[in-house]
Amino acid sequence: MISAGDFRNGITLEMEGSVYQILEFQHVKPGKGAAFVRTKLKNIISGGVVEKTFRPTEKFPQARIDRQEMQYLYSDGDLYHFMNTETYDQIALNQDAIGDALKFVKENEMVKICSHNGNVFAVEPPLFVELEVTDTEPGFKGDTATGATKPATVETGATVNVPLFVETGDKLKIDTRTGEYLSRV
């Protein structure tokens, strides 16, 4: 059990039959009246965000989130297949559980599968990936006055804005959280 006075960012808790992760919290002590905790919570199953206030003495059971390292094997239609590299167990997840988490992930790369009580609710890609540019327009000299960018398609099919000097065939380092170009490799 965790009390509202002990809330921190990233903690997951069970409340009203759902599992919530604390995105933001603020302990408020008004000059008159009792203290309270103002929070912004994200429902990890549905993805909805709600704001709630609690008394610091309220207690909630802490939710246990399992993160398991698995290898992304392949996709066939609406199903995405993953394998545990230690036990060789395979699971298949549908598009709803994946979302756009695999936008920058190639086949045979390692990802983290997040589950609560055996129910998978998210896939966490690696923070940074290295991908090859498969298609981009040539940059024109003279367009660089404001640090201009151009769209480039990488080998997974995703589109990234890159500087004008990047060409087809270059390997890029990309941040999967924001989808931003970091550097050439």
What is the domain-level CATH number for residue 139?
2.40.50.140
Rg (CA), the chain: 21
Is residue 19 within 8 A of residue 42, CB to CB? The reply is: no
Last residue of a domain, one of 95, 124, 153: 124
**pLDDT tens readout for residues 115-141:** 888 888 788 888 898 999 998 888 766
Residues 140, 101: one domain?
Answer: no
**pLDDT tens readout for residues 68-107:** 899 999 888 888 899 988 998 888 888 877 778 888 888 8
Residues 78, 105: one domain?
Answer: yes
Return the exposure string of 81-110: e unless at least 16 CB atoms fall within 10 Å of the residue's CB, then b: bbeeeeeeeebebeeebbeebbbbbeeeee
